[in-house]
Amino acid sequence: MKRNRNVKIVATLGPASDTYEMIRALHEAGADVFRLNMSHGSHEEIRARHGMIRQVEKDVGRPIAILADLQGPKLRVGTFAGDSEELVEGASFRLDLDPTDGDASRVCLPHKEIFDALEPGSSLLVNDGKIRLKVTECGSDYADCEVIAGGTISNRKGVNVPDVVLPLAALSEKDLKDLEFVCALGVDWLALSFVQRPEDVTQARELAKGRAAIMSKIEKPAAVKAFDSILAVSDGIMVARGDLGVELPVHAVPPIQKRLVRTTRSAAKPVIVATQMLESMIESPMPTRAEVSDVSNAIYEGTDAIMLSAESAAGQYPIEAVKTMNAVAVEVEGDPTYRDVIEAARRIERSSVADGIVSAAREIAEATDIKAIACFTQTGTTASLVARERPQVPILALTNHIGTARRLALTWGVTCAVTARLERFKQAVVSGARAARELGMATEDDQIVVTAGVPFNVPGSTNILRVAPCAERLIYASDPE
CA separation for the pair 266, 339 (Å, rounded): 17
Cα 103 from chain centre:
41
CA separation for the pair 412, 32 (Å, rounded): 11
Strand-strand pairing, 131-138 and 123-126: antiparallel
If we measure between CA atoms, which residue out of 47, 50, 66 comes closest to residue 188?
Answer: 66
What residues act catalytically?
35, 76, 217, 275
Give the containing element (helix H, strand E) for 238: strand 236-240
Strand-strand pairing, 414-418 and 447-453: unpaired
Give the sign of the dihedral formed by CA 180, CA 182, CA 187, CA 193.
negative
Angle between helices 381-388 and 353-367 (to 10 degrees): 50
Query: What is the secondary structure of 80-129 as a DSSP string?
Result: BTTSEEEEPTT-EEEEES--S-B-SSEEE---HHHHHH--TT-EEEETTT
CA separation for the pair 265, 278 (Å, rounded): 24
Burial annotation 327-352 (CB, 10 A radius, 16+ → b, else e): ebbbebbeeeebeeebeebbeebeee
Give the sign of the dihedral formed by CA 450, CA 456, CA 459, CA 461.
negative
Instruction: Compute the CA torsion angle 102, 165, 303, 3 (nearest 10 deg).
Output: -60
CA separation for the pair 221, 239 (Å, rounded): 12
Helices (runs of H) and strands (runs of E) counted in the chain: 17, 21
Helices (H), 226-349: 227-232, 241-247, 253-266, 289-300, 310-313, 318-333, 336-345
CA separation for the pair 335, 464 (Å, rounded): 33
